[in-house]
Amino acid sequence: MGNTVLVTGVARYVGARLATALAADPGIDRVIGVDTVPPTAFARSGGAQLEFRGIDLRSSDLAKVIGTADIDTVVHMTLLSGPARSRSALKEHNVIGTMQLLAACQRSATVSRVVVRSTTAVYGSSPADPAVFTEETEAAEPPATGYAKDAVEVEGHVRGFARRRPDVAVCTLRFANFMGPGVDSPLTRFFAQPVLPTVLGFDPRLQFVHEDDGVEVLRRAAGEDHPGTFNVAGEGVLMLSQCLRRAGRVAVPLPSPTFRVLGELARASGLLDFSPEHQALLTYGRAVDPSRLWAELGWTPTFSTADAFADFLARHR
Amino acid sequence: MKDPLGFAFRRLGGQYEVDEFGFDAELTEALLEVLRPLYRCWFRVETAGLGNVPRGGGALVVANHSGALPLDALMLQVALHDEAGRTVRLLGADLVYRLPVLSHLARKSGHTLACPPDAGRLLGRGELVGVFPEGFRGIGKAFWHRYRLQRFGRDGVVATALRAGVPIVPCAIVGAEEIYPKLGDLGVAARVLGLPYLPVTPFFPWLGVLGLVPLPSKWLIGFGEPIRTDGYDPGDPRAAFELTDHVRETLQRQLRALRARRGPAFPLPALPRLAW
């Protein structure tokens, strides 16, 4: 049975919550959290089974931890979209970090389960795509930039690992945008503003996963073998216009070239992370079919897309 | 509209539902309200063979496409909604989803991109799906090619219906050919604008915006007997070809018959007779 779980990316909100939830699980003896900076929420909950290691995924320290700690399950969730560092640093963190981690897992004799947090951004957003993506759908225009492209590369490395180690159960979870009172992402920061720029003449479909459901999905994936790739999203979709009206925000529709330039300016000034893939999402939208995961887990999420957004608004009025 | 105040409150508060394709039933009702005068008074649309449209369950309506602007799609939607009591989910070109305004109005009124995954998904949910397999070849053809069915697209929507095992209802639309008689094509300007064609009609672009007023031709929309797909083997690639040919021939025959039944496109009103 999986007794020792390694969680990467615990300094961030969902990672910290997952580590705490896993530590509370009686079936798990030990949870090792890894990140470059110590988590704040995590330190407070600090149970006896919870350890934190300040490790950069790109360093060889990680291989040492995996080699010595008899780790059974690895939950990899460091995929970053943050604007904090330069693009090359971000890519190195996302892709090189994953390669290092997978290399360490491949050498390990104890790791029997790997869970990777990916994103539905791997499908891109374009007018030539089907309305609803299933796990098999090929993107019409695969993401060529940023975070989404990193995610595509990370998934490629994960598939390669799964081929080389067929004895390890590899579960790739493609999450829709997280939404809820505790989430801090480019999208939640976008919705927290009083006046929002939108793309004139477009009303994208958006899909959210509530943070509680996201943590629960990760916890279940870390606790049992669910090999394969799965979409994770709350039931239903919300149009951007619906979100804005429910939030009582003022929309400022801008022609798409203006929207793009403003987005770049906001990004350069560090005000708001308005990456090109984010702009594509706010123009063409995206919806996925998560039914395969619900059938696999025999569980359905508590929050629909609309519920998750309502819960987010309850905090951000 | 029954409850305009409630409608306004729901719209402004965002308290309405859409499905995963973005279909907004409430907004669609309001949009159909706007189209109805065009349907009833301008084109005087008459329907035939409504009994051939299944009352429920998945089915694929295959129609001919014409008229430079897809008014035939809108009129088909009104006809099926008002007279057959069914919401049709049309499959459109990706150009529709690239254009501002049109893209979200198309999604909100229930339509989606013409691609096998979307078509299969809608048919699997028991929806009535409508398609114009001629695509731009049909809607952008010259006036002297009117009522001549063009080649069907390769996206294989007929094959999707075959896999889903749903019946195909051929639908002939007569009248849309005459709304914008396309005499020429501003090819270069169209390419600059990223459009498949830019028609020259007797009134456009000479009269500017006024040239966009469709001519009030007389329309007939006829639904043919459903073609069953369950006799074919979905695994056989030839089956899809055969079925496509069969549908195309049936539709062409139906189109010819309906055009003859309509008579002139612009029937003169009976002149008041002087009584002596």
Shortest alpha-carbon distance between residue B99 and chain A (Å): 8
Q: Which chain A residues are within 8 Å of B108, Cβ to Cβ?
A: 203, 239
Q: DSSP string spanning A67-136? A: HHTT--EEEE------SSS-HHHHHIIIIIHHHHHHHHHHH-SS--EEEEEEEGGGG---TTS-SSB-TT
- pLDDT per residue as tens digits for the range A9-18: 888 889 999 9
Q: Is residue B70 very low, low, confident or very high in pLDDT (cuts 50, 70, 90)?
A: very high
- pLDDT per residue as tens digits for the range A51-102: 888 888 888 888 888 888 889 999 998 876 655 456 777 788 889 889 999 9
The whole-number pLDDT of residue B119 equals 95
Residues 6+ apart with CB under 8 A from B223: B47, B48, B49, B50, B52, B53, B61, B84, B169, B170, B171
Question: Strands B128-131 and B59-63: what pairing?
Answer: parallel
Q: Where in chain B is the domain with CATH 3.40.1130.10?
A: 25-178+218-262
The whole-number pLDDT of residue A51 equals 86
- pLDDT per residue as tens digits for the range B112-126: 999 999 999 999 999
Among all chains, which residue has been given the structure tokens 């869970």? A115
Shortest alpha-carbon distance between residue A244 and chain B (Å): 8
pLDDT at B275 over 90: no
Which of A130-134, A192-196, B161-165, B216-220 bottoms out in mean pLDDT, i.e. has the lowest?
A192-196
The whole-number pLDDT of residue B156 equals 81
The whole-number pLDDT of residue B276 equals 53
A11, B17, B97, B106, B107 from B89: Cα distances, Å: 46, 17, 15, 10, 9
How many of the other CB atoms lie within 10 Å of CB of B205?
14
Average pLDDT, integer, range A187-213:
93
Provide φ and ψ at A55, rounded to 5°.
Answer: -130, 140
Shortest alpha-carbon distance between residue B101 and chain A (Å): 4
The whole-number pLDDT of residue B97 equals 93
Which of A20-24, A77-81, A192-196, B139-143 bottoms out in mean pLDDT, i.e. has the lowest?
A77-81
The whole-number pLDDT of residue B235 equals 81
Q: Which chain B residues are within 8 Å of A287, Cβ to Cβ?
A: 20-21
The whole-number pLDDT of residue B271 equals 63
The whole-number pLDDT of residue A44 equals 47
- Is B89 at the interface with chain A, CB within 8 A? no
Fold of B25-178+218-262: Glycerol-3-phosphate (1)-acyltransferase (3.40.1130)
Average pLDDT, integer, range A155-183:
95
Question: What 3-state class would DSSP assign to A276?
Answer: helix
* Residue A89 or B172, more confident: B172
The whole-number pLDDT of residue B155 equals 63
> Is cis: bond before A166, omega within 30 of 0?
no
pLDDT at A1 over 60: no
Whether the CA torsion A144, A149, A153, A155 is positive or negative: it is negative
Q: Which chain A residues are within 8 Å of B114, Cβ to Cβ?
A: none
The whole-number pLDDT of residue A27 equals 85
Selected for mutation to probe chain A from B17, B18, B96 (highest A CB count within 10 Å) is: B18
pLDDT at B130 over 90: yes
Average pLDDT, integer, range B170-192:
95
> Above 0.95 for ipTM, yes or no?
no
Q: Where are the domains of chain A?
A: 4-179+208-234+289-302
The whole-number pLDDT of residue A85 equals 55
Fold of A4-179+208-234+289-302: Rossmann fold (3.40.50)
* CB atoms A205 and B112 under 8 Å: no
CA distance A77 to A34: 10
* Residue A24 or B144, more confident: B144
Q: For chain A, give the mean pLDDT.
A: 88
- pLDDT per residue as tens digits for the range A206-263: 999 999 999 999 999 999 999 999 999 999 999 999 999 999 999 999 998 888 888 8
* CB atoms A201 and B103 under 8 Å: yes
Q: For chain B, give the mean pLDDT.
A: 92
